Chains A and B, each alone.
Chain A
Amino acid sequence: MNPIVELVDNSFIFIVAISVLLLLGVTVAMIYFVFRYSEKNNPKPDQSITGSTTLEILWTVIPLILVLAMFFYGYEGFKEMRNIPPNAMLVKVTGKMWFWHFEYDNKKTSDTLLVLPQGKDVRFELMSADVNHSFYVPAFRVKEDCIPGRTNHMWFHTTNIGEFDIECAEYCGMNHSYMLGKVRVVPEKEYLEWVNRVDTVKKTDSLTAPTGTVPGTVKTDSIKTTQPKVDTTKTTGNKKDTLKVNPKDSLKKNK
Chain B
Amino acid sequence: MANGSLANEVSYLEYQGKHKGIMGWLLSVDHKRIGLMYLMGIMIFFFVAMTLGVMMRLEMLTPGETIMKPQTYNSVFTLHGVIMVFLFIIPAIPAVFGNFMLPIQIGAKDVAFPRLNLFSWYLYMVGAILAIVSLFIGDGPADTGWTFYVPYSIRSAQNVSITTMAAFVLGFSSIVTGLNFVVTIHRLRAPGMTWFRMPLFVWGLYATSWIQVLATPVIGITLALIMLERFMGVGVFDPALGGDPILYQHLFWIYSHPAVYIMILPAMGVVSEILPTFSRKDIFGYKQIAISSLGIALIGYLVWGHHMFVSGMSDTSRIVFSLLTFLVAIPTGVKIFNWVATLYKASIKFSAPLYYVLGFIFIFSIGGLTGLVLGALATDIHVTDTYFVVAHFHYVMFGGMGIMFFATMHYWFPKVFGKMYNEKLAIVACTVIIIGFNTLYFPMFIMGYMGMPRRYYDYLPQFQGWHILSTVGSWILVSGIVFMFGNLFYALLKGPKASMNPWGGTTLEWKVPSPPPLENFDEIPIVTGGPYVHDKATYIMYPSKEGINANGGVKTVNQEAAL
Question: Which residues of A pack against B, CB within 8 Å?
Answer: 7-8, 11-12, 15-16, 19, 22-23, 26-27, 29-31, 33-34, 37-39, 42-47, 49-52, 55-56, 59-60, 63-64, 67-68, 70-71, 73-78, 80-82, 126, 130-132, 134, 136, 138-139, 141-145, 147-150, 152, 165, 167-178, 180, 217-218, 221, 231-234, 238, 241, 243-245, 247, 249-250, 253-254
Contact = CB atoms under 8 A, between A and B. Distances in A.
A37 B152 contact: no
Contact of B326 (A26, A68, A233): A68
A173 B326 contact: no
Nearest to B459: A177
Given A143-B382, A148-B245, A165-B460, A29 B312 contact: no
Interface stretch (B8-16, B153-161, B190-198, B469-477): B153-161
A175 B336 CA distance: 42
Contact of B372 (A19, A64, A134): A19
Given A30-B343, A44-B347, A51-B286, A134 B281 contact: no
B312 A232 contact: no
B451 interface: yes
Contacts of B453: 136, 167-169, 177
B482 interface: no
B138 to A, nearest CB: 12
Given A141-B378, A174-B71, 19 more contacts: A23-B365, A26-B337, A26-B365, A42-B348, A50-B286, A56-B334, A56-B338, A60-B330, A63-B330, A71-B322, A75-B322, A77-B376, A136-B385, A145-B312, A147-B312, A149-B244, A218-B64, A232-B157, A238-B157
B299 interface: no
A46 to B, nearest CB: 4
A89 to B, nearest CB: 21
B257 interface: no
B361 interface: yes
Most buried by B among A68, A73, A74, A173: A74
Most buried by A among B149, B233, B382: B382
A130 B382 contact: no
Most buried by A among B281, B346, B370: B346
A244 to B, nearest CB: 7
Given A46-B281, A63-B333, A70-B372, A143 B385 contact: yes
B311 interface: yes
A99 to B, nearest CB: 15
A37 B330 CA distance: 28
B284 A33 contact: no
B127 interface: no
B408 interface: no
Contacts of A139: 451
Contacts of B490: none
